[in-house]
Structure 1
Amino acid sequence: MREIPGSVAALCARLRAAGWEAYPVGGCVRDLLLGRTPGDWDVTTSARPEEVTALFDRTVPTGIKHGTVTVLTEDGGVEVTTFRAESGYADGRHPDAVTFGGDLTGDLSRRDFTINAMALGPDGTVIDPFGGRKDLQARIIRCVGEPERRFREDALRMLRAVRFSAQLGFAVENATAEALRNNAGLSACLSAERVRTELEKTLLAPWPERGEGLFAWGLLAAFVGTDAQPDLTTLHRVPVRPLERWAALCALLLDEGSIRSAGEFLKALRLDGRTVRACAAGAELVKTMPRGAVGWRHALAEHGEDACTAAAAIGAAMVGGTYLQELAETLAEGSCVTVRELALSGAELAAMGYRGADIGAAQRRLLSHVLDHPKDNRPERLRELLKAER
């Protein structure tokens, strides 16, 4: 198991010296046991937020209502959260009431999955009252306690279960999977932004095919209906980048009739405008998929790099082939694909006697020629072409 950063160890030591309990907890412990470097660090403590704030010079009140203070250290921010109990989840996402106090076991008992419900003691001992270490070894995602209750408390946990499965390559334990299916309707209360974030993390995960559970269990029914069954194994043909993965997903859903348009689907999920436009254009472009360098140069000139990237990703996901490679090679050529890249500028055309709209028309004709003959993008050759027209 990898070591705890010195700043985190010092933070815990300072809390303990002041008479409080303090333990690294949650995902950072899971990652340490998996031999990974944690992306962030969380500490749970018996100290209340105001006591944590008084003890450290640099703090940010990131979630005082829920007992969380971020302590700024030389290794980054560490979220320090008071032992707490929660009750009432009227909105299916947040507790109606938070009560500070209790002990470590009680604090761990409110967490989502056993693999996230472990802590490290002062001597480095793994404190694991719910069998998280055993589940790590068995490679399964299991809820802490009763799955139905965990998901009714926070519906986002259902999407997180699938996301962890895709990120870690773990199976979802049977009782947890059954609760996912039974409570899928609760996902309708989640914001589109929350759903988008979890879905994107799943699409970019090492095992994206495990994301099929999002559709099989009906967790995305608000966006794709209940019959969607995309084959996400095809995502392995596509680069692990958001644009390409979103484009490929849209293509799979369009192909099976689960969505009417890529643009509408992505807008509903609150994707950024650039991704929405690129995926929508790519879904149209793929109907007349470019081939070879000349084809891709023309497509780049007409639709832009983002749309072409989306189209190539769609082609790769749907039928395989060399679309992504062809596009990458075309881009690597550095050939002219826009008017701005022509070797003759608008000012130089004006100096040749062109005026007003004639300048733009001449540029478009030159670009059309250069897309087919990229080596002709030289000032003297472009002048020859224009003179030949007169």
Structure 2
Amino acid sequence: MDRTQIPGGVARVCRTLRAAGFGAYPVGGCVRDLLRGVDPADWDVTTSALPETVMALFERTVPTGVKHGTVTVLTEDGGVEVTTFRREGGYADGRHPDAVRFDAGLTEDLSRRDFTINAMALGPEGEIIDPCGGQSDLRMRLIRCVGDAERRFREDALRMLRAVRFSAQLGFAIESGTAQALRKCARRADGLSAERVRTELEKTLLSPWPERGERLFTWGLMDKYLAGPADPDLTVLHRTEAAPLSRWAALCGALADWGSIRSVGDFLRALRLDKKTISACEGGAALWRDGPPWSARDWRRALAGYGKDACIAAAAIGDALTAGAYTAALLEILEERPCCRVSDLALRGRDLTALGYSGTEIGAAQARLLSHVLDHPEDNRREVLLDILKREEAED
């Protein structure tokens, strides 16, 4: 492999470690991506140097996981995670090793990793070090555990969600033995933190093949968060924008349509999503249930009543469930920058005060003007709104 593909900062980290007498190898996902012809988003280096030695060799470091052998070296190309060759003890909590020893070699270090395509390293001359068959699985487009799949999943239950996520991100199949072990161990996912599950699920939803995330539900990995069985058709996610709010809303719509969740809000809160997304998805689901907007006037009134984010969520649900064009219609309205709030009115509160309005009269007048403008957006001009108020006074 052409060593010029390695960023200067990463190459400098490796040179410094090697010059000090230690082995140093780019490893894992960055090697996988280089072989796929994709620029790696992150760079990891595995080394025979102990964490304390790594911190002594470089001026700018962060002790991100010294207990487990990891130090982040800060370079001109960003942070590089440098981890000491290690062997691991048991996994009593089903997530983290009980003990870590730094007396392993490169081959043993690679053999403890999750999947074969993530268990390759890059040597000093650009050679691929691949004791687990990752290059073969990369060519065959397979997600396969390193060694015994059931053991890998019992060590760390998060690997099951990562298997599905990599399948969705890369478009790879999950090898049959790995899939069988995953289904057998699926209930171990119940012990994972909601934050970890949410992160893997969101990455899956935003991937190029989100429909592969169906396995998270049909294989039982999400049972803890569901009210009943789920077999959602996640191909419908392709009808929505690959953005977090749209995809979460569409997923909730699909699960609610299947009867797998009792409440959009309860489902998302259990997964520890942020309050803004939860509120938007709840509002979007309510708007969809109440009857989706059909006209520009309906969308303006929905924007006034539910807010922009909830309308985006409702549009995503509609697009996903009906193959409609709700998002396109909403975007047309938003491009017009419609007046949907009192603060958008061309007539301000101080204008009303100058006209003699006071107290609750101001709010009531603003509400009437906004209702009119929602139906007649072209009338949001100061002189027109003043005329409306004058006509009201004349009628009184």
Same fold (TM over 0.5): yes
1:317 partner letter: A
Q: Which amino acid aligns with 1:324?
A: T
Contact between 2:228 and 2:259, CA under 8 Å: does it hold in 1?
A: no
- Partner of 2:114, secondary structure, is coil
Residues 279-338 of structure 1: CA deviation (Å, up to 9, x unaligned): 111111012101121110000001000110000000000001110000000000112111
In structure 1, the gaps of 5 or more residues are: none
Query: In the alignment, which residue of structure 2 is the partner of 1:39?
Result: 41
Amino acid in the other structure paired with 2:298 = G
CA distance in 1, matches of 2:228, 2:179: 17
Q: Return the alpha-carbon distance in structure 2 between the equivalents of residues 59 and 281 of structure 1.
A: 45
Correspondence 1:330-345 to 2 at 5 A:
330-345=333-348
Quote the residue 2:199 is aligned against.
197
**1:366 aligned to 369, 374, 380, which one?**
369
SS at match of 2:363: helix
1:117 corresponds to which residue? 119
Q: Deviations over 1:167-225 (max 9, x none)?
A: 00000000000000000011011000000000000000000000011011100010115
1:146 to 131, 145, 148: 148
Deviates most, 171-180 or 5-14: 5-14
Deviation of 1:10 after TM superposition, in Å, equals: 1.4
Distance (Å, rounded) in 2 between the aligned partners of 1:94 and 1:354: 66
CA deviations on 1:208-266 (whole Å, 9 max, x unpaired) are 00001101110001011562001000000000000010000001111111000100000
Runs of 4+ deviating beyond 3 Å: none
Instruction: Note if contact 1:119-1:128 (Cα within 8 Å) is conserved in structure 2.
Output: yes
- Residue identity over aligned pairs, in percent, reads 68
Is contact 1:218-1:226 (8 Å) kept? Answer: no
Residues 248, 281 of structure 2: 8 Å contact kept: yes
1:290 corresponding residue in structure 2: 293
The answer as to whether partners of 1:187 and 1:219 remain within 8 angstroms in 2 is yes
Matched residue, 1:309? 312
Cα distance in 2 between the residues matched to 1:75 and 1:201: 24
1:25 aligns with 2:36: no
TM-score by length of 1: 0.99
Which secondary structure does the structure 2 equivalent of 1:183 belong to? helix
Q: Is the 8 A contact 1:83 1:103 kept in 2?
A: yes
Post-superposition CA distance 1:114-169 (Å, at most 9, x none): 00000000000010011101101100100000000000010000000000000000
Which amino acid in 2 is paired with 1:49? P
- TM-score with structure 2 setting the length: 0.98
Which one of 350, 353, 360 corresponds to residue 353 of structure 2? Answer: 350
Q: Distance in 2 between matches of 1:230 and 1:335?
A: 36
SS at match of 1:77: strand
Q: Is the 8 A contact 1:82 1:101 kept in 2?
A: no
Find the aligned partners of 2:81 and 2:351 in 1 and give their Cα distance.
60
Mapping of residues 168-179 of structure 1, within 5 Å: 168-179=170-181
1:381 maps to a residue whose letter is V
Distance in 2 of aligned mates of 1:233 and 1:20: 48
> Could you tell me how far 1:379 is from its partner in structure 2?
0.4
Aligned to 2:84: 82
Shift of 1:94: 0.3
CA contact (8 A) 2:227 2:262 kept: no
Where does structure 2 lack aligned partners over 5 or more consecutive residues? none
Distance 1:7 1:124 in 2: 16
The number of residue pairs the alignment matches comes to 390
Alignment equivalent of 1:63, drawn from 62, 65, 89: 65
Matched, 1:376 2:384: no
Distance 2:191 2:377 in 1: 54
Is the alpha carbon distance of 1:299 and 1:366 closer, same or farther for their aligned partners in structure 2, counting shifts above 3 Å? same
Separation of aligned partners in 1, 2:282 and 2:13: 49
Letter matched to residue 161 of structure 1: A
The two structures, once aligned, show a CA RMSD in angstroms of: 0.8
